Structure 1
Amino acid sequence: MESAQDRVRAAYRRIAEVDRPEVWIALRAEEEVRTEAAAVDERRAAGEALPLAGRLLAVKGNIDVAGLETTAGCPSYAYAPGQDAPAVRALRAAGAIVLGSTNMDQFATGLVGTRSPYGAVRNAVTPERVSGGSSSGSAVAVALGLVDVALGTDTAGSGRVPAAFNGIVGVKPTRGLVSTRGVVPACVSLDCVSVFARTLPEARRAMALLASCEAPPRRPGPWRVAVAARAQLGEMDAGWAAAYEAAADRLAAAGAELRTLDLTPFTRAAALLYEGAFVAERWSAVGEFIEAHRDAPDLDPTVAAIITAARDLPAHRLFTDQRRLAALRTEAMARLGDADALLLPTAPGHPTLAEVAADPLGANARLGRFTNSANLLDLCAVAVPAGTVEGRPFGVMLLGPAHTDDRIADVAALLEPPLRVAVVGAHLSGQPLNHQLVALGARLTATTTTAPAYRLYALDTEPAKPGLVRTEKGGAAVEAEVWELPAAGLGTLTAALPRPMALGSVELSDGTSCPGFLCEPSALDSAEDITAYGGWRAYLADRSGA
């Protein structure tokens, strides 16, 4: 197993190689980080359970990390925290190692990643385009392979838009599920700590360590997924509506039931975030600082203008907008009905740096069309890659009611490229354990045989199942089914495999190989060799007839 120290060395080589200084606000000295990594290696060697041992972590610049200044993207605002924010502390306790704090749209006000005196964070794939904000540096650090996991925040979409633009996963939990103590607020009532990772299982593993309460029991699919009609998506970049529909088709192919939803209450709620009085909460967070430092050269003019304008909003507008939002929330939940999730594009398009510079407010407002409503409506969300358009990442997000975080992640897993698994026994169609495959969204793609290199044995188990073993001599072809299922589903199956079963590579009759269920040779001492039957079902039929 690669040591944490080796992973740190490789990370700093990678940081030098990509040469993206705008990603970081503060990068820790390599020697200091290697010392911390050595301590993680010692803890692991002593037998301590560390689920994130040696995983490298970046932290958005508005989240406290002991030993680093918290700037929120504004050097003159900086302060030295006395301790890690709870979210940082939880991941460090699990073995994660912080490399540094990352660049961001100042005071978490923006979805573009350009509103920072530390420089505009360029996209990881197409540097002439924006990275997305406000958690720009965190997303790009993950996308470029500098870290494994990164923390961001999400008030209007800052944990999702950067994920979509950089081809990674972004998880925005239910409000309150992850502590926001030690986070410079944008809108206290709406803020969430978000997680970025390159894969959905990695993001979910980190989020599980951050959650303040246990998730409700998970249920298997099939899933009911609401989708928007193309006419309600509004103007989108060329090819993006078709890419969204293709993602919906993949969910349907994986067994999800699609239903069209009226998006109106969601888009109307989204407009309230900046056009209504809720923006006044940004003034209550940092408005007095901006007012006192309005001539400071490190204040981003766009951010300062947005927050300053909120100062004079009359109180009655807030109460009016709260009533409007309550009505929209009721309508939105009614539209969602009993659907498990709502599938939407994460953003309607991906602007260039030049386009944002030419119209900073308009470009930013467009990017929040689908994301702005989530926290106002108390939804959880996960943003995942869904292919490319003209060579650039395209992403979608799944949204669900509060505390359905695991459910929407299970639905999102259906969009991952499926994996194949070969089964020869109790997981075959019609057999007692086949329901496990079906519940994980698997579908049968072929009935075939293995290569003529295996022996099949009847094991003494409950329920009855066979054991497949590869042999150098005397092998035969054995009936097999090949199923496709999400990567996370295969992981679930593997984790639940009882001994003596094990996951290994199974060679099929066409010469290809895929994961399949094999058996440990030690279990065969008292097992019956049933290879001559050609397969498990033939053996069961013969035994039933006898």
Structure 2
Amino acid sequence: MHNPLQTSGWNLADWQAAQKDGQGLQRLQALLAVLKKDQEKDTAWIALAEVSGLEADWQQLEARQQAGETLPLMGVPFAIKDNIDAKGWPTTAACPAFSYQAEKDAQVVAELKQAGAILIGKTNLDQFATGLVGTRSPYGAVPNSFNPDYVSGGSSSGSASVVARGLVPFALGTDTAGSGRVPAGFNNIVGLKPTRGWLSTSGVVPACRTLDCVSVFALTVEDALQVAELAAGATPDASDPWSRTHPQTTPVALPERPRLAIPANLEFFGDRQMQTAFAKARAELETLAELVEIDFSAFSELAALLYQGPWVAERTHALGSLLDQDPSAIDPSVYKIVSQGVDFSALDYFAAEYRRQELSRQIQQQLAEVDALVVPTSPTIRTLAEMEKEPLVYNSQFGTYTNFTNLADLSALALPAGFRDDGLPAGITLIATAWQDRALAEFGQRWQAQQALPLGATQREYSTPSQRIRPPAPGAVRLAVVGAHLTGMPLNFQLTSRDARLVEATETAADYRLYALANTTPPKPGLVKVADQGAAIKVELWDLPLAHFGAFVEEIPQPLGIGNLTLKDGRVVKGFICEPLALQSATDITHLGGWRAYIAELNKQKEASA
């Protein structure tokens, strides 16, 4: 018999559905009991919730729900990397000598709790988020979830591990050089590295404060995006000087067949299995996208600047007096890296910053010619034994395709991409300019659906997400079009040239009438709402970047305009409306149910008379 309290491998939708059945608290208690039982041997965890705290959190959520609040993550457990503050929990950054008791939640944690999520534990990391390996911690190395002889990747090693093993449906990490992507690639999960400034870093122990991002690990792209949107909150965090406002100009989805840049010369450091796995992924990508080879030299030079340049001094600054007062408390590899920060001068910084800006401009220009860039998430993977012998060299190799991303102000999404011949996961990463997070996620969902790989290390099969009604993309307006702006029609370019993306085809409520307006070029319809004798009319819904909405409306001629339109399911969106006076000379075509049917009828009449 199925055990309703058995949650291993559940994704976000599983948890959201189950926590409505009246056994939500018991389910969380059962999960916590299992985690505590295994805690001593599970190096992914640094701290777990107390039963009393879990019960108190649940009771508060129940009270809020009974008061009428909507909690999209009601009772869903999650984990956070232990360089992120949670009120009442210690924050260690994987360094006991650095530990302090957090007095308030980090902003991202507060947002997730506001949505109803319950913090179940804090996870292990490469100390002070310095490393891409998952081995630089006094709490122990976090092993790969597929083969414990191999590294998990870092620095967000614990967060990736607990998601890959299906212990929680999502976890927060951080990403400065690739820490939210490399562990995703090594553990067959999704890692969303958002645009800098979208998710607040208030309450996060800094690594490089000017570059740090809070990242999201999940089993599916849909889950990662949903969590990121909730963690970001409705408005930028005023307490975080690096928070930014969405410009509302970027695409909300990639084209149906996007152009993806790919490095002309790929480096795998002799790892034939990773090279073969990426070649297979490349062949799969070519069924979904056009691949365009590019010169990768600017990306590579910028990646090298992160650890060879003065940004190391930001890590030195973050450690403060600990570096001098108690160097023995710091992992040797971390100490070797961070102690070098004192060697850089202000002159060094400005020289490097000027070069960073030059390289970033080159990268932005290259990416302007394509829809996104695709790279291997990591060119290679190493065993724990190998990492002990060459801790810095191999760490550097892992960052080949990640280190440049935040320096160039890019968004990124790490995706599962099949398995090597030895059974270890391989990954790809999509990278685009800032604020294209949702566009990358839209394509990432298509990729994940095509691959249909098992979820993480759980062996659960991937299933296509149910068709839930999606709200308009952040920074976009949802617009219903009924005539000449439909896909394939003469004015559709006015949408596509402004980076609008088709969301769905649907119908209006059954109280509209459709007319063919007289003397319009190209032919245009008029849609009006009526009190009776109406019908449902076919429409398309498009998400249009909000900053382009005004220019789009400016092109709409009389007697048309934009108003509110009601759909058959009750949603109200922006849509085309018509001045009633124009209907006096128009032809009623309501019986045809939509503009396409009318155009088809016109074409038949033209053919018959020809």
| TM-score band w.r.t. shorter chain | 0.7 to 0.9
- Kindly indicate whether the alpha-carbon contact (under 8 Å) linking 1:168 and 1:384 is maintained by their aligned counterparts in 2: yes
Distance in 2 of aligned mates of 1:96 and 1:433: 40
CA distance in 2, matches of 1:251, 1:34: 46
Counterpart of 1:336 in structure 2 is: 367
1:165-204 alignment to 2 at 5 Å? Answer: 165-204=186-225
Cα distance 1:48–1:313, how it changes in 2: closer, same or farther (>3 A)? same
Instruction: Tell me, yes or no, if the aligned pair for 1:174 and 1:405 is still in contact at 8 Å.
Output: yes
For residues 464 and 312 of structure 2, what CA distance do their matches in structure 1 show?
Answer: 48
Q: Which residue does the alignment assign to 1:157?
A: 178
Aligned match of 2:537: 462
Structure 1 segment 286-435 matched on structure 2, within 5 A: 286-296=319-329, 299-390=330-421, 391-418=423-450
- Other structure's SS at 1:386 match: strand
Matched, 1:30 2:51: yes
Structure 2 letter corresponding to 1:412? G
Structure 1 residues 408 and 315: CA distance shift in structure 2, 3 A:
same
Deviations 1:357-412 (A, max 9, x none): 11111111111111000011111111111111121111111111111111122222
TM-score normalised per structure 1: 0.76
Paired with 1:152 and 1:434, the residues of 2 have a C-alpha distance of: 43
Cα distance, 1:188 vs structure 2: 0.8
Q: Residue 375 of structure 1 aligns to a residue in which SS?
A: coil
SS at 1:417 equivalent: helix
**Matching of residues 238-277 of structure 1 within 5 Å:** 238-254=272-288, 256-277=289-310
Structure 1 position 128 matched with structure 2 position 144: no
Q: Report the equivalent of 2:81.
A: 60
* Residue type of the alignment partner of 2:343: D
Identity score, percent: 42
Q: Is the 8 A contact 1:105 1:112 kept in 2?
A: yes
CA deviation map 1:165-209 (0-9, x unaligned): 111111111111111111111111111111111111111011112
- Which runs of no fewer than 5 residues in structure 2 stay unpaired? 1-16, 237-244, 451-462, 466-485, 493-500, 505-533, 541-565, 571-590, 592-596, 606-610
Structure 1 unmatched runs, 5+: 422-431, 443-458, 466-495, 501-527, 529-536
For 1:121, give the aligned amino acid: V
What CA distance in whole angstroms lies between the structure 2 residues aligned with 1:220 and 1:190? Answer: 26
Amino acid at match of 1:387: G
Deviations 1:250-293 (A, max 9, x none): 33312x22211111110111111111222111111114321111
Q: Report the residue type matching 1:396 in the other structure.
A: I
CA deviation digits over 1:219-268, x for unaligned, max 9? Answer: 55132211123x333425223223223333333312x2221111111011
Distance (whole Å) between structure 1 residues aligned to residue 60 and residue 338 of structure 2: 43
Question: More displaced, 403-412 or 126-135?
Answer: 403-412
The residue aligned with 1:83 is 104
Deviation at 1:36, TM superposition (A): 1.3
The secondary structure found in structure 1 opposite 2:207 is: coil
Query: For residues 366 and 389 of structure 1, do their structure 2 counterparts lie closer, same or farther at Cα, with a shift above 3 Å needed?
Result: same
Distance 1:403 1:273 in 2: 22
- Aligned-residue RMSD, C-alpha: 3.4
Amino acid at match of 1:228: P
Question: How far 1:38 sits from its partner (Å)?
Answer: 3.5
TM-score by length of 2: 0.68
Change (3 A) 1:441 1:80: same
Aligned equivalents of 1:261 and 1:462: distance in 2? Answer: 46
Cα drift, residue 57 of structure 1:
1.1
Greater shift in the superposed pair: 268-277 or 11-20: 11-20
Query: Does the alignment pair 1:92 with 2:113?
Result: yes
- What do the CA deviations read for 1:412-452 (whole angstroms, capped 9, x no partner)? 2221124889xxxxxxxxxx88999xx7799xxxxxxxxxx
Aligned AA for 2:394?
A
Q: Distance in 2 between matches of 1:228 and 1:295?
A: 42
CA distance in 2 between counterparts of 1:90 and 1:152 reads 15
Deviation at 1:25, TM superposition (A): 1.2
Preserved contact between residue 8 and residue 37 of structure 1 (Cα < 8 Å): no
Equivalent pair of 2:133/2:152 in contact (CA under 8 Å)? yes
1:7 aligns with 2:61: no
SS at match of 2:327: coil
- The structural deviation recorded for 1:15 is 2.3
Question: Do the aligned partners of residues 47 and 303 (structure 1) sit closer, same or farther apart at CA in structure 2, a change above 3 Å counting?
Answer: same
What is the SS of the residue equivalent to 1:49?
Answer: coil
Q: Which amino acid aligns with 1:12?
A: L
Q: Which contiguous aligned blocks of 4+ residues in structure 1 show a shift greater than 6 angstroms?
A: 432-436, 439-442
Q: What SS does structure 2 have at the residue aligned with 1:324?
A: helix
